[in-house]
Structure 1
Amino acid sequence: MEHITLASREYEFRNHTIKPLDIDEDPSGLLRGGVGSTIWDAAIVLAKYLEKSNLLSIASSSTSATETPRSSTPINVLELGAGTGIVGLAVARLLSAKGVEARVLLTDKENVVPLLSRNIQRNPSIGIDIQAQTLDWEEDESSSSSSNAQKIHALIDTNWDMVILSDCIWVPGLYKPLISTINALITPSASKTQLVIAFEKRNFAEEMEFFAMLGKTFRFRDIKPEEQDADYQSEDIYLFVCQRRS
């Protein structure tokens, strides 16, 4: 795969002391990654919001006076449907710049993982353990022996500080399995886990059905334009921060 030449796109941080990301895309479909091979606008808007917001600072701070300070406990970040990995890799760079140790796990369908792994190799961050893993919530979860169910079960024991979902709610038929996966990963006892969602409006009525379903187990608030990066936002792109109902 190393000899394959792909399109490359640079992501620059507001803080110019942070090394830019160099992200490969695959518009010609050489790696057969489908829609996950492209950097979508919602991913850029979300990454820029995370640069500006204090969410990462909250995640890396002490949660209570009796708990071990987060500075000595690695932060756990999970991205679902990571695609090229640009959001998770940006989070990794931002945490690294803060001197925070972290584990960043980027997941997607099997056909997307080769490109995702390639971008992880191209964009290491000091002190951050970045890995790619196949996780496809579209798979049939009715059998406890399914590979997807096993992967989800292996991830449940991790206390995720942040779970990221960028532009993954454009297929209504996948709403139910996606929410099932989210509910399995973020249990009621993990009420401090932040679920951060970005999506570009395509069929607003259908997309609000997703949030109606998600609202049964999560409370959420929308991120106002004034909270976002002034140069990277759109009236068609929505951001939400969600937390599991206890």
Structure 2
Amino acid sequence: MDTIFGGFEDLVVPRATEHLGQTDLSFGGKLLPALKICEDGGESGCGGKVWIAGELLCEYILEKSLHHLLSEATHGRRQFKKVLELGSGTGLVGLCVGLLEKNTFHDGSKVYVTDIDKLVPLLERNIELDKVQYEVLARELWWGEPLSVDFSPQEGDLQTNNVDLVLAADCVYLEKAFPLLERTLLDLTNCISPPVILMAYKKRRKADKHFFSKIKRNFDVLEITDFSKFDHYLKQRTHLFQLIRKHTV
């Protein structure tokens, strides 16, 4: 099966220089030890940098994960054993979850940070920097292509989810890639019990609304506002959404 455009790599172009990630990667002392993130200075394009939407998603996860991952967001009704981050770049969000698992929760959760092939070495380097090789695994994942067995819903009389939680920060930035990202989200949720999807997004251009308009055919898009730094990020045009699949198999 080919991707919608055949060559996703041709669509991967660098964005304008912008570095809005904070330098305090302990997030005000909520994550100790603090994250260590190596950026590549733009060598691999836009993915090798820390972006503000990733910062927002980390802040939300840390605030809502007092007893276990996102325990306050789910009122303790759901545990996440297999976490997938899409378009991970430096791996900021997935590494944050991995450090929580290693140092606080010990729930046996696994986190997969994923991106195109040329970013996997950077992800692996940051996994080593933060010493979370057991909790966090780096994998290649091209949007729009068939999911690997690690992530595709399991086959059976009824398909069941293979991934419990999908995280995406600053993935909505290139209009030609919108159908590829949508295809991957549809594939991940093509099961009787779809994973929770959290998507952090900084509004930069009018074309971004086309992505959200399109996916609303298959997903309810709910903005999350109940966290302490909502107003801070709103002023920077950065939002957090939960995507809920409307119709599944």
- Letter in structure 1 aligned against 2:63: K
Distance 1:168 1:17 in 2: 24
The aligned length equals 213
1:175, distance to aligned residue in structure 2 (A):
0.7
Alignment of 1:98-117 (within 5 A): 98-117=105-124
Deviations 1:192-214 (A, max 9, x none): x111101111113x222111221
Alignment of 1:206-221 (within 5 A): 206-221=207-222
Distance 2:58 2:26 in 1: 11
Of 14, 22, 25, the match for 1:11: 25
1:230, distance to aligned residue in structure 2 (A):
6.1
Distance 2:213 2:181 in 1: 13
1:125, distance to aligned residue in structure 2 (A):
4.0
The reply to whether residue 93 of structure 1 matches residue 102 of structure 2 is no
1:153, distance to aligned residue in structure 2 (A):
4.8
Distance 1:185 1:17 in 2: 29
SS of 2:107 mapped into structure 1: coil
- 1:22 alignment partner in structure 2: 36
SS of 2:117 mapped into structure 1: coil
- 1:129 alignment partner in structure 2: 135
Distance 2:185 2:88 in 1: 14
Which has the higher mean CA deviation after the structures are superposed, 226-235 or 194-203? 226-235
1:136, distance to aligned residue in structure 2 (A):
1.4
- Please say if residues 219 and 242 of structure 1, whose CA atoms lie closer than 8 Å, have aligned partners that are also in contact: yes
- 1:233 alignment partner in structure 2: 233
- 1:168 alignment partner in structure 2: 171
| Stretches of structure 1 lacking an aligned partner (at least 5 in a row) | 1-8, 64-69, 139-147
The reply to whether residue 51 of structure 1 matches residue 62 of structure 2 is yes
- Please say if residues 150 and 162 of structure 2, whose CA atoms lie closer than 8 Å, have aligned partners that are also in contact: no
- Letter in structure 1 aligned against 2:213: A
- Letter in structure 1 aligned against 2:94: G
Distance 1:227 1:180 in 2: 30
1:88, distance to aligned residue in structure 2 (A):
0.7
- Please say if residues 102 and 129 of structure 1, whose CA atoms lie closer than 8 Å, have aligned partners that are also in contact: yes
- Letter in structure 1 aligned against 2:184: T
Cα separation, partners in 2 of 1:201 and 1:175, compared to 1, 3 Å? same
1:61, distance to aligned residue in structure 2 (A):
4.6
Distance 2:112 2:101 in 1: 14
Deviations 1:93-141 (A, max 9, x none): 2233123211100100111111111001111349x53100111116xxx
Distance 2:136 2:32 in 1: 17
SS of 1:133 mapped into structure 2: strand
Cα separation, partners in 2 of 1:121 and 1:160, compared to 1, 3 Å? same
Q: Which has the higher helix share?
A: 1
Identity of aligned residues (%): 28
- 2:198 alignment partner in structure 1: 196
Of 38, 41, 49, the match for 2:52: 41
- Letter in structure 2 aligned against 1:227: F
1:28, distance to aligned residue in structure 2 (A):
5.5
1:60, distance to aligned residue in structure 2 (A):
10
Deviations 1:71-92 (A, max 9, x none): xxx7110001000000111112
- Please say if residues 171 and 201 of structure 2, whose CA atoms lie closer than 8 Å, have aligned partners that are also in contact: yes
**TM-score by structure 1 length?**
0.76
Alignment of 1:56-67 (within 5 A): 56-57=70-71, 61=76, 63=78
| Stretches of structure 2 lacking an aligned partner (at least 5 in a row) | 1-22, 155-160
- Letter in structure 1 aligned against 2:40: D
